[in-house]
Amino acid sequence: MEKNQEGITAKKEENFSEWFTQIVQKTELADLRYNVKGFLVFQPWSVLSMEKMYEHMEKNLQNKGHEPYFFPTLIPEENLKKESSHIGGFTPEVFWVTHGGEKKFEERLALRPTSETAFYEMFGLWIRSYKDLPFKTYQRAQVFRYETKATRPFLRSREFHWIERHSAHATEDDAFKQVLEDMNTTKEVLHDIFGIPFIFFERPVWDKFPGASRTFAADALNPNGKVIQLPSTHMISPEFSKAFNVKFMDKDESEKYAHITCYGPAISRIFASVIIVHGDDKGLKFPWDIAPVQVMIVPITDDKRIIKKAKDLKKQIEKFASVRIDISDKRPGEKFNHWEMKGIPIRIDIGLKDLENKNITLFRRDLDKKVVVSEDKVIKEIKKIAKEFTKNLIKKADKIFEGRIKDAKNLQEIKKATEEGFIAKCNFCSVDKEGISCAKIIETETGAEVRGTMLDEKNKAIGKCAICNKEAKQIVYIAKSY
């Protein structure tokens, strides 16, 4: 791929779509020229970051008792058919494998669009007693969906990289505690490490995950007012346990069906939110813990003394951070702009004057400012910046949500709010089936969607539905999405 040295020319606030396209291409996150539509080649700068994202998410899950598995990529059609609402929800998106070499299979195999029907097939074999519960698993995998809408790198493609967690529990209460744990995991990782602000909504009945009895999903808000669905967590329908015979012998020696939950943090989509939330008109900004490279040392000249100082610094820094030296033949200004665009948290500039004065110049991308420190204090200063860096990004990111939820009393106010980049909040007749017609009116007239309700506002609506004027049962949130 030809390297485009020109910086980001589109303004994030003025032309978000073009800005995002340039970010992906010019910072070399992905190459879209692979010759299968909807599939992209992830390049090192995104892979290095996503590997760290996986590490943090998997560590959190393992600390909470979830064990890692590798499941097959192929799922028999008979598995998908065992739970009717699940197969009904995914059939239009399935890639089917029909041949092995020249031989046609008697039964089609699906490239996994998700793995409930693979995990629960095995749950039915593995779980026997209440002593086996809770049974907590996860896998890191790619899933494939024939996305018919316009694709966009990382945000919406036909192959995406994710983690899916599946668990079985003895009681419905225990299962719901797992869902709440998932919400906490999302905060601990996505917000506290990746710096992404979000709100968890319980999705309305018409927007549940296929085969779930309840769905909860985190929506991140973009600066342009659109939301991105990030991890979702689900109370799986009892029909799944019955279809896959996931049952156990309880303490009272009676046989019972297990209560199943699942959780799906899509790392490639979360990576898109990292780009969008933290990036600016100069390029990327990475939270410290998931930066592909945390420190870049830039020698101003190829003077032997400067190169030696760069190598000595690298040896000290690599004990606690990822670090590289840029020894390319580009001009210093080109190097500065390049690494600023690539989102390196700390850049160290070393010139002859620095050597003479025994100083080191640090450029920190969180505050976009230079700091000059003496040689003997540089390691201490880098460690100090490392502790502050993500906190500064989070503080700025959290402001995205400030004042962005607006009360709306009718369709006109909903339309105005969502067109201006707000999340509209209003009374609503019902998030069960009887509210579908009102939801369709909202979508048709505004292009926005009912995202759902908040747990702590359940049954707190007072007044009339903003659409049909019937008695309101819930307070809902409405926004445009990707």
178-198 pLDDT, tens digit each:
999 999 999 999 999 999 999
Q: Tell me how far apart the alpha carbons of residues 11 and 55 are, in angstroms, rounded to a whole number.
A: 33
β strands within 226-351, DSSP E? 227-236, 247-249, 255-257, 259-264, 295-299, 323-325, 346-350
pLDDT at residue 340 is higher than 50 = yes
Residues 367, 396 contacting (CB under 8 angstroms): no
pLDDT at residue 247 is higher than 80 = yes
β strands within 242-332, DSSP E? 247-249, 255-257, 259-264, 295-299, 323-325
> Which structure tokens are listed for 379?
């390691």
- Please give the average per-residue pLDDT across 6-33, as a whole number: 94
What is the per-residue pLDDT for 6?
76
The whole-model pTM stands at 0.95
Q: Tell me how far apart the alpha carbons of residues 339 and 139 are, in angstroms, rounded to a whole number.
A: 34
β strands within 285-418, DSSP E? 295-299, 323-325, 346-350, 359-364, 369-374, 405-407
Q: Report the phi/psi class of residue 288: left, alpha or beta, with left for phi > 0 and alpha for psi in -120 to 50.
A: alpha
Could you please state the CATH topology (level 3) that the domain comprising 405-479 is classified under: Translation Initiation Factor IF3 (3.30.110)
What is the torsional sign of CA 193, 196, 202, 207? Answer: negative
* b/e sequence 144-163, b meaning 16+ C-beta within 10 Å: bbebeeeebbbbbbbbbbbb
Q: What is the pLDDT of residues 81-136, one digit of tens each?
A: 887 777 777 778 899 999 999 999 999 999 999 999 999 999 999 999 999 999 99
Q: What is the pLDDT of residues 350-395, one digit of tens each?
A: 999 989 999 999 999 999 999 999 999 999 999 999 999 999 999 9
| Domain spanning 288-399, CATH class | alpha beta
What is the per-residue pLDDT for 372?
96
Q: Which of helix, strand or coil describes residue 69?
A: coil
Residues 480, 418 contacting (CB under 8 angstroms): yes
Task: Provide the mean pLDDT of the chain.
Answer: 94
The structural domains of the chain, with segments of one domain joined by +, span: 16-278, 288-399, 405-479
∠ Cα 189 138 262 (to 5°): 80
Q: Which of helix, strand or coil describes residue 394?
A: helix
Q: Tell me how far apart the alpha carbons of residues 319 and 325 are, in angstroms, rounded to a whole number.
A: 15
pLDDT at residue 3 is higher than 70 = no
Does the domain formed by 16-278 have CATH 3.30.930.10? yes
What is the per-residue pLDDT for 15?
92
Q: What is the pLDDT of residues 422-476, one digit of tens each?
A: 999 999 999 999 999 999 999 999 999 999 999 987 668 889 999 999 999 999 9
The percent of residues in the chain predicted with pLDDT above 90, rounded, is 89
- Please give the average per-residue pLDDT across 386-415, as a whole number: 95
* Beta bridge pairs of residue 235: 214, 261
> Which structure tokens are listed for 474?
């819930």
Residues 5, 22 contacting (CB under 8 angstroms): no
Q: What is the pLDDT of residues 274-296, one digit of tens each?
A: 999 999 999 999 999 999 999 99
